[in-house]
Amino acid sequence: MKTIVAARALPAGRLLSIAVCGLAILAGGSAARAFPVASQATGNFPSYDGSNYVLGLEDHSVTPPAIRARLLDGTGATAGPLIDLGGRGIAVNTAFDGERHLVVWEDALTGGDLSGWSVRGRFLTMQGATSGPELVITPGQSMADGAHYLAYGGGVYLVAYTRFIDSGQPDPNHSGNRCVAARLVARDGTVGPDLRLSAGAGAQPSVAFDGERFLVAWCEDVGDSEVRGCFVAPDGTVGAEFGINASPAPSDNPIAIAFDEKHHLVAWSDETSGYETMTWDVFAQRVDTEGRLVGPVITVANEAAPEIVTSVSFDGRHFLAAWVRLESETESDVLARFIDRAGVAVVPAFAVDATPGPHFGGVAFAMGAHLALVTNGQIGEGGFTAVNGVSGSFIAPIGARPREDWAATAFGAQAGDPLWRGRRRIRTGTACPTCSNTRSAVIRSRPRPARRLRPGWRRAGSGSCFAGRRARSCSTKCRRAMIC
C-alpha cells in the first residue's frame, strides 16, 4: 500500500509534506476571510447540530496527539475552550444523531505494536460536555485509515475500518491481509459485532447514508487499483459487494462519498501512468441506491501535478469536490470544483488555499454553506508532524447569495436565479441529522416581517423536512437541531 495522504504510516521514499490552512473564496477565486480554529492541531470533518459545528481534533502539542474537540458557531467563531476527550490518537471523525455528537478516532494508548491499534469514541452534548465513558468500538488490530469513515442514519452510527484478516501472521499489516469491516453503534453507546464488508482484501473505507442504507466504498488491497463498495442497512444487513471502478491504475488513497437524494458520488484518485509515477488525478462515479453505476466516469481534476481527493459535499444542487494538488514535498494547494447532479463539472476548479507552503484540507456542508477546514503541518511516517494549526472558511453554493459573514464566490446569485424566492429567502438543501434525508428547505438570509407562505411551505426552523415544496413532518429531535 502506498497511500500518500492518509494518516497511516507511509512507505519509505513516498513521504510528502502536507499542510492545511482554511480560506474563503472571493470573486475570481482569491483567498480571504480565514478564521482560526485551533493551534498545533489537525481536523477536517465536522458535524453540525443546528447551532454549532463540532470539529474533532488531533492536538499535536503533546505526544501521542491528544483527542480534543472544538465548537464553532455558524459564523466560524469558536464557542468555548478546547474540549478534552481523554484519548490519544489520530484520524478523528465526528457525526451527530439529533441529540449528541459522536467523536471517533484511532487510539494510540492501547499498545505500541500492531495489536494495540483500535478505534475508540466518545459522545459530546450539544453544549460541548463529554457524555458517558470512552467507547471501545474495535478491540484491537484495526485501523481508522479511511477519510470519512463515520456516518449516522436510521437511528445508528456506522464506523467503517480496516482490520487484519489473519492476525497471527508475523507481520500482519501487509497488502492482502487487510479487509474492510464495520460496526454499528447505537445512540446509547452499545457497540454491535464486527461486520466484514470486503470479501477479499480492502482498505481505506469511507461511508455516506442515503436515507435508507449506508454506502461504504474502499480500495481493493492486493492490486490496489479497484474501487469497490457495498450497502449496509441500519439493522446490520450487509449487501452484496460490487465494483465501482476497475481501471488498471493504482487507486490506493482514501475514497470520498456524498449523496444527492438520488445518487451517491464516489470520488477517488488514480495514478494514471502506473505505479510510482506520481501521476495522480481525481475521478468520480455516480452510483444509485441499488449499487448500479450511473453515467460514465467523471474526470474531476487531471493537471500535471499529482492530485489527491480529500472530500465531497452536497449543497442541494451541486456536489463540491475538494482535493490537494502536490507541487512538491514543501508546496501543495487545496482546490475544489462544483459538479452538478448529472455529473458535469459546471465551473472551473478554484483554489481554496494557494498560499505558499504545503496545504491539505476538506469540505462539509450545513445550513447553506460549505465549510472548508485545513491544517498547517507536515505528514510523514505515522501521520501529521510539526503541526501549526487548523483554520477554516465558508464557501457559498452556486447561485446562493452569501451571508454577510461569508466571502463571495465567482458563482454568486444572479437575478432571477431559481434558488431565490423574494429577496430574503434561499431555497437550498441540507441533511437532517435525525432522519438523514436531504431535502430542499427555505432559509431566510435576514429577519423579515411575518407573512403568509404558500400552502405546504413552513418557515425555516419549524421542524420540517422539505420534499419539493411540500412540507414533510420531522421529529422533535430534528426541530431541536433546527436543521429543517
39 near 21, Cβ under 8 Å?
A: no
Question: Can you give the pLDDT at residue 222?
Answer: 87
∠ CA 378-381-387, nearest 5°, is 25
Per DSSP, the residues of 317-384 read SEEEEEEEEEEETTEEEEEEEEEETTS-B-S--EEEE-SSS--EEEEEEETTEEEEEEEEEEEETTEE
> What are residue 281's DSSP bridge partners?
270
Question: What is the pLDDT at residue 465?
Answer: 37
- The DSSP bridge partners found for residue 215 are 208, 231
Q: Mean pLDDT throughout 366-389?
A: 76
d(CA 88, CA 94): 16
* pLDDT single digits (tens) 36-52: 899 999 888 899 999 99
Summarised one tens digit per residue, pLDDT across range 418-430 is: 332 333 333 333 4
Residue 333 CB contacts under 8 Å (≥ 6 apart), including other chains: 324, 325, 327, 351, 353, 354, 359
pLDDT tens digit string along 278-333?
889 999 999 999 999 999 999 999 999 999 999 999 999 999 999 999 888 778 78
Q: How far is CA 325 from the centre of its chain?
A: 18
Q: In this predicted structure, what is the pLDDT of residue 245?
A: 96
Residue pair 474/466 in contact (Cβ under 8 Å)? The answer is: no
| pLDDT top residue among 11 and 81 | 81
Confidence (pLDDT) at 419: 32
Contacts of 201 (CB under 8 A, 6+ apart): 165, 175, 176, 177, 178, 179, 220, 221, 222
Residue in the structure block whose three cell numbers are 412540507: 471
The mean pLDDT value of the chain amounts to: 78
pLDDT of residue 139: 86
Q: Which residues of 331-367 are buried (b: 16+ CB within 10 A; e: fewer)?
A: bbbbbbbbbebebebebebbbbbbeebbbbbbbbbbb
DSSP one-letter code for 423: S
Specify the range with the lowest mean pLDDT, choosing from 104-113, 132-141, 436-445: 436-445
Q: What pLDDT, on a 0 to 100 scale, did the predictor assign at position 109?
A: 72
Q: Would the pTM of this model clear 0.75, i.e. be above it?
A: yes
> What pLDDT, on the 0 to 100 scale, is given for residue 75?
86
Q: Which residues pair with 8 in a beta bridge?
A: none
Task: Quote the DSSP letter at residue 481.
Answer: H
H-helix or E-strand containing 473?
Answer: strand 470-473
| Measured CA distances, 109 to 16, 91, 125, 174, 181 (Å) | 26, 14, 24, 22, 22
Confidence of residue 277 (pLDDT cuts 50, 70, 90): confident
Q: Which domains, from first to last, does the chain contain? A: 24-395 (2.130.10.150), 425-481 (no CATH)
CA distance 161 to 153: 18
DSSP β-bridge partners for residue 216: 207, 230
- The percentage of the chain sitting over the pLDDT mark of 90, rounded to a whole number, equals 50
Average pLDDT over residues 178-182: 96
pLDDT of residue 113: 54
Cell of 203: 482498505
- Per 3-state DSSP, the chain is made up of helix, strand and coil in percentages (nearest 5) of 0, 50, 50
Q: Identify whether the C-beta of residue 44 lies closer than 8 Å to the C-beta of residue 311.
A: yes
Q: Which residues of 145-161 are buried (b: 16+ CB within 10 A; e: fewer)?
A: bbbbbbbbbbebbbbbb
Mean pLDDT, residues 115-133 taken together: 92
Closest of 193, 198, 203 to residue 235, by C-alpha: 193
Closest CA to 307 of 278, 344, 277, 343: 278
d(CA 335, CA 359): 10
